[in-house]
A and B are shown apart, each in its own frame.
Chain A
Amino acid sequence: MVEIAMSDASNTVAPWLLPDGTLPTAERGARVLLVLGKGGVGRTTTTALLAHGAHAAGLNVLVVAIDGKSSLHRLCPGGVDVRSVTAGSALEDYLLDQGFGNFARRLAQSGVIEVVGAAAPGIHDLVVLGKVKQFANIGQHDVVILDAPATGHATSMLSSVSGLLDIVEGGPIREQALDVQRLLMDAGRCGAVVVTKAETTPVNESIELISAIRSVDVALAGAIVNAVEPDELLINLSKKEHSRLPAQVAEVIDAAIARHQQSQHNISRFVNALGTSVMEVEKLSTADLNRDLVAKLATAAYGEPVS
Chain B
Amino acid sequence: MITDLISERSVIVCCGSGGVGKTTMAASIGLAAATLGRKVVVITVDPARRLGDALGLDSGLGADPAQVVLPDDVSGELWAMMLDPATELERVIRTTAVRPGQADEALANPFTQSIATSLGGTQEYMATEAVYRLTSDEAFDLVVVDTPPSDKAMAVVEAPDVLVKFLDHQVFKLLMGTGGRAARLLSAATQPLLRAVGRVIGSNVLNDVVNFLRAFTGMETSFRQRAITVQKMWRSDSTAFVLVATPTTESLNEISRFNDELISAGISSTALIANGATKEVLIDAETSGHLPASAAEWLGWQSELAESERTVLRARNANLPEVAMVGRLHEDVHDVDGLLQLADELVSTSSPKKLQ
Listed in ascending order, the chain A residues whose CB lies under 8 Å from chain B are: 1-2, 38-41, 44-45, 67, 69-71, 95, 98, 100, 103, 106-107, 110-121, 123-124, 150, 152, 168-173, 199-202, 230-231, 233-234, 236-237, 241, 244-246, 248-249, 252-253, 255-256, 258-259, 262, 285-289
B247 touches A287 (CB 8 A): yes
| 7 cross-chain CB contacts under 8 A | A38-B19, A71-B249, A150-B149, A171-B199, A230-B297, A233-B294, A236-B294
A237 touches B294 (CB 8 A): yes
B169 interface contact, C-beta 8 A = yes
B292 touches A285 (CB 8 A): no
Of the stretches B66-74, B177-185, B304-312, B340-348, the one at the interface is B304-312
Contacts of B19 in A (CB 8 A): 38-41, 150, 202
Contacts of B201 in A (CB 8 A): 116, 119-120, 123, 168, 171, 173
Taking the nearest CB of chain B, how far is it from the CB of A218, in angstroms? 21
A40 touches B200 (CB 8 A): no
Q: What is the 8 Å Cβ interface bit string for chain B, positions 106-141, against chain A (1 contact, 0 not)?
A: 000001001100111110000000000000000000
Contacts of A67 in B (CB 8 A): 151
B299 interface contact, C-beta 8 A = yes
The A-B contact count (CB < 8 A) is 181
A288 touches B213 (CB 8 A): no
A108 to B312, CA, bound (A): 39
Taking the nearest CB of chain A, how far is it from the CB of B109, in angstroms? 12
Residue of B nearest to A67 (CB): B151
Of the stretches B7-15, B202-210, B229-237, the one at the interface is B202-210
B199 touches A116 (CB 8 A): no
Taking the nearest CB of chain A, how far is it from the CB of B13, in angstroms? 18
In this complex, how many residues of chain B approach chain A with their Cβ under 8 Å: the count is 70
Of the stretches B30-38, B220-228, B262-270, B279-287, the one at the interface is B279-287
B165 interface contact, C-beta 8 A = yes
Contacts of B122 in A (CB 8 A): 118
Of residues 1 through 48 on chain B, the ones whose CB sits less than 8 Å from some CB of chain A are 17-20, 47
Whether A107 contacts B196 in the complex (CB less than 8 A), given A233-B298, A237-B295, comes out as yes
**Secondary structure of the A side of the interface?**
helix
A262 to B175, CA, bound (A): 57
Taking the nearest CB of chain B, how far is it from the CB of A48, in angstroms? 10
Whether A112 contacts B295 in the complex (CB less than 8 A), given A255-B330, A262-B331, comes out as no
Most buried by A among B206, B311, B331: B331
B197 interface contact, C-beta 8 A = yes
Listed in ascending order, the chain B residues whose CB lies under 8 Å from chain A are: 17-20, 47, 50, 111, 114-115, 118-122, 149, 151, 162, 165-166, 169-172, 175, 192-193, 196-197, 199-202, 205-206, 208-209, 212-213, 246-251, 253-254, 257, 279, 281, 283, 287, 290-292, 294-295, 297-299, 301-302, 304-305, 308-309, 311-312, 330-332
Residue of A nearest to B199 (CB): A171
Taking the nearest CB of chain B, how far is it from the CB of A225, in angstroms? 15
Residue of B nearest to A38 (CB): B19
18 A-B pairs besides A45-B250, A117-B120, A237-B292 with CB distance below 8 A are: A39-B18, A70-B253, A70-B257, A103-B193, A107-B196, A115-B213, A116-B197, A116-B200, A173-B200, A201-B50, A249-B281, A249-B291, A259-B330, A286-B304, A286-B308, A287-B305, A288-B248, A289-B249
A252 to B281, CA, bound (A): 8
A287 to B253, CA, bound (A): 12
A103 to B206, CA, bound (A): 16
B175 touches A112 (CB 8 A): yes
Taking the nearest CB of chain B, how far is it from the CB of A125, in angstroms? 11
A106 touches B193 (CB 8 A): yes
Contacts of B170 in A (CB 8 A): 110
Contacts of B50 in A (CB 8 A): 201
Contacts of A114 in B (CB 8 A): 119-121
Contacts of B20 in A (CB 8 A): 39-40
A124 to B308, CA, bound (A): 39
Closest 9 CB pairs of A and B: A40-B19, A39-B18, A118-B119, A39-B19, A121-B118, A285-B304, A111-B166, A287-B309, A287-B308
A246 to B209, CA, bound (A): 70
A249 touches B299 (CB 8 A): yes
B171 touches A112 (CB 8 A): yes
A119 touches B253 (CB 8 A): no
A256 to B328, CA, bound (A): 11
A287 touches B248 (CB 8 A): yes
Contacts of B213 in A (CB 8 A): 115
Whether A248 contacts B281 in the complex (CB less than 8 A), given A116-B197, A241-B292, comes out as yes
Residue of B nearest to A167 (CB): B205
B169 touches A110 (CB 8 A): yes
Taking the nearest CB of chain B, how far is it from the CB of A78, in angstroms? 19
Whether A1 contacts B111 in the complex (CB less than 8 A), given A118-B119, A252-B279, comes out as no
Whether A119 contacts B111 in the complex (CB less than 8 A), given A112-B169, A287-B249, comes out as yes
A45 to B251, CA, bound (A): 12
Among candidates B192, B247, B291, B330, residue contacting A245 with C-beta atoms closer than 8 Å? B291
Residue of A nearest to B284 (CB): A246
